[in-house]
Chains A and B, each alone.
Chain A
Amino acid sequence: MLLRLYVSGQAPNSVAARQTLQTALREGVSGDVSVELIDVFEDPRQAASDGVLVTPTLLRIEPEPRLAIVGNLGDGQRLRRWLDLTPMDSTV
């Protein structure tokens, strides 16, 4: 699974989203998950091409279809459900 997290520097919501994602991944997810971290101010073109308007935004790039969560991910419950509900292909 390929995730892409868009953040804006050290903005509080961005910092919170990054921590929540890291915690969720540490707690264990079946299969390999790689995360690309992109700062919108450093790479606005990439943000534009992914249609990212607000930060933080977490995109699932692979497998298709693309999915997105916007916001600081709160307590991570929704994120965990989202990751778990994602059908995993262990061979990826």
Chain B
Amino acid sequence: MSSGRAGYTGYIYGLAIPLLLALCVAPVIAAFLPLILSPGESLRLSGELLTSPRLWGLWTRSCGIALGTALTATALGLAIGTCLNGPGLKRRRWLYATFAVPFLLPPHVLAVAWIDVLGQQGLLESWGIPTFSLYSTTGVIWVQCLTWYPIPMLLVVYRLQQIDPHLWESAQILSEPGPIFRRITLPLLYPALSTGFLAVFIFSLLSFSVPSLLQVPVFTVEIYSSFNSLLDQRQAVLLSAPMLLTGGFLACIALRRGHALLPTLPRGNQGMAAGTHYNRWSACFLALFFGIAVVLPTLAMLYRIGAPHVLLSAWRTGAGEIGTSVLLGGLGATLLLVLVLPMTLLVPSRPAPLLWTSLLAYLVSGPVFGIGLIQVWNHAGPTGYLYDRFPILLIAVLGRYALFAWLGCHLVAPWLPPDTLSAARNLGSGKVRTFLTITLPALRKPLAGVWACLFLLILGELECIVLVAPPGWVPVSLRIFTLMHYGPTSMVSALALLQTIVTALVLYGLAACIGRNKVYTPDKSRYHTVGR
């Protein structure tokens, strides 16, 4: 048994390590190579940057915004997640989906919608409702936390569904809701909250478009201006180092806390209510929040679109780009799961190489990774052939989002039924057969959730693929960002709305497929759909 295990480990790592090196590490090394090759110059440049008070000011502001965004989004995610998971609430899955709508839109599109709502001549002011200045640090935090709160919210919901209902019932008999929340719910939710916090913090730290639209100078402006205004790639690459160090430091802390990124609770009640008891206060809170976070920006977008013919025109001119995005998102998410899931489940004891390499690829800023991709792939021969075509987009998103595939796969691992796996092992089923016939079907629902998250992240990808998108393969995120500054703004809103609708349809289709119950019939070695 142990030799078989070692064989599998060797096989998987033999496949995984070269792939990870090619997808995640090689572009980062290629981007940093000019700095590595001239250490004297790099040290001098580092000294200049480290002694600049202006840069420290920008860095402090960036960290402050990231911290504010992450704290607020996590608090919102906790509140909404627990309300949505409370007993007595009907059509819960629809509510999860509805409250996750802001995550379907790129942050810069939501920022424009919020300018229409909270701007000086915005919707609220026209109704005589006083507002705060959106063009401020508070404004950036507001827009970003209302974009990314679905991440901690969904993690909280997922975690609550893992809590043993007996534990919950016992606690309710013995204590009041307040102490239960403080002493039981919160500690159990810690892994979800810390993972959500970390994800939002990193998203916010790397964000450029929202602070830029809201006129708040942040550290990423320095990186972009080094690329564009100064054409000084060496400085730009060096400036991305603090992002790497900060993200790496946070990941280290999270891992040192033991289970922060690796929830170890067994599979729980799967939808049994383990949240705050649903009452009129939570209903009011959910309704109010829904009105603010979802309805207001949607109204602003519809107001911008104005007439239905704009939607039609957006569809005529943007259907190709939307198709490219859906293709890229679908293929990218699927391939990420195909690559990462076996590594995570079959060799669960050694996550470090995958974690650190994928973290490296995400934390180095998007443009730096894009430059690295050009250096690695744009050569005569097979790599150049791939670089000139659609696969370079796939390669880019596989490298950038391996981290989230890894996180997702670790989050779904506790859903595996250990008794069934033991039984399969005792009956002599091999690892691969067990994986294909038991593990995958058992995990299909949580894996669908991970697939959906990866799909959404890839749809929003902009900063890396802007450098490598080949002619004829433009994702819609790129087109929206192009139009935002030059084209008609109604078209931007129309394209964003169409993207949201198409994304929702894809996810609905996925939910419909996954929702079917399947049973395994050993004699035919295949699954049959038996109903809904």
B partners with A = no
B interface residues, Cβ below 8 angstroms from A: none
A interface residues, Cβ below 8 angstroms from B: none
